[in-house]
A and B are shown apart, each in its own frame.
Chain A
Amino acid sequence: MSSAKSMMRKRKLKEFAGSLRRNKMAMTGTIILTIFILVAIFGPIVVPFSTLDFGDAEDMMQPPSSEHLLGTDDMGRDVLANLMSGARISLLCGFLATIISMVIGTIIGIASGYFGKAIDNVLMRFTDFFLVIPWLPLMMVLAAILGTSIWNIIFVIGITSWAGTARVVRAQTLSVKERQFVERTVSIGAGNIHIMIRHVLPNVFPLIFANTVLIAAVAITSETTLSFLGLGDTTRASWGMMLHYAFESGAASSGAWWYYLPPGLCVVLVVLSFALMGYAFDEIMNPKLKER
């Protein structure tokens, strides 16, 4: 029986992978992201330079060469090495901030939709506050107060980006809680927590998932922005930090394209891959959007 079960599971995974493969957008997004993840994991091991290999005066701001594939920065460090360890920080930041945002958004959304009335009102006004407040100044203030460590950046992005998720989850919860199986579960004596976790959550999960992928893109952009503005973790090389130093050292005006272009392109590509995947997941999981 268990083999039948695992076979079923395999079949479903295959179906999911199949519809992913048929969907060109999702395929492109997945490939780009996979490359970046692999680079983030193995890149710094493969590249022979560390981000702390400061060069001598003659090594500074050197254009790409066979030794330094992407040239060097204003402190004589290898740009490629920085770029790869930047991928680690940016992706880590994106994933963790997204998880925080997803958890907060889901809890507030489900609680708000499920309990309704006063709780809904209070939670939704709270959500509206986060939704309308200009997030960049808020992030900057929070980052400045909390100090510039990567964990603070993750935390700040996490707690400022959940409002959209909460709204969407609440809307779906409102619809799910009126379904008859919830009434049935109440009648057998299940508590609110039980119903929310066992019945409502699995039914809103596809939505959360699709939404989450899009938030990951926002999180990575936010990290880059904060770092570029000098509110990032100065001890770690992230893409935002690289752009920050490139800007400060006047790389753009001195024509050192190898310094500012790669991190910029990386940010764009990663954000694009998340966006592509997000829309594609939405399409796969929401049959109404499926092309026939």
Chain B
Amino acid sequence: MALVQQAAAARAAAQRRARLEPLTELVRKDLKVKYKNSALGFVWSLANPLLYLTVFTLVFSFFLRNNVPWFAVLFMSGYLVWSFFNSAALDSTGAVVGNANLVKKVRFPRVVLPLASVGFAGVHLVLQLVVLFVFLVPFYPDAFGPQLWLLVPALAVAVVFTVAMSLLASSLNVRYRDVQHLLEIIILAWFWLTPIVYPVTVVREELTNAGLLWMFKFYMANPMTPVVVAAQRAIYNHSVVTADNGKLVQVLPAGGYGFYVQWLAVAAAISLVLLVLGLWTFRRLQADFAEEL
């Protein structure tokens, strides 16, 4: 009898260990479903960053001339990380609600549902970064240097922050379905509050001119800002550039790494607090998921 119990206990432990199994399979499923019945499949995801690069190079060179050379590279460095956060957060909002049938009928760790949305967006981020780097090899070799390592902590913070937001959004949306609509609006505003389309230095200059430099700290407290700025520093790799009109323009706040590491640390701290809050909220609410759906 004791042996049987031991075996049962061991298998229960194995069941707990295997809890991330559904995660990889769910991500695999999402990827397969997305590209099912499309002839080019993954090529679409890869074409996306190239299309953006082309369009924004044109836009920033002709229509919205800001004289910054290779502004499209600066833009893409931040935009790819942002779109990871953007699609993961919006996707995960509906992750629990959209899998109601599963949640009501099958016992499995519910937390894998929002995590799968993050994983799905993560796979795309990696693929798109690869495409970007392939493009950078011939056109923008400046990107390849030791500063690229900055991308590692930047992406790590982005993942922690995104997971935290996904846990919050997916669990709260079960109870209050308008979280989804609210989040869409918030994320749109958030995009413009993050230095993606404009360099962060513009904000600092304007705030300095207005005598409100102390507000810059609050601007940087948005965890996505240090992430985006660090990614720009890593890939664009120039803080001061000669503009097309011959003037020197500062596009990134610092040439060294101190500024970025420091702010990434702040963003990491905020993200970890949010992660704890997200896990706590998710755990608290998940007991009622099957009832609420």
Chains A and B come from one and the same complex: no
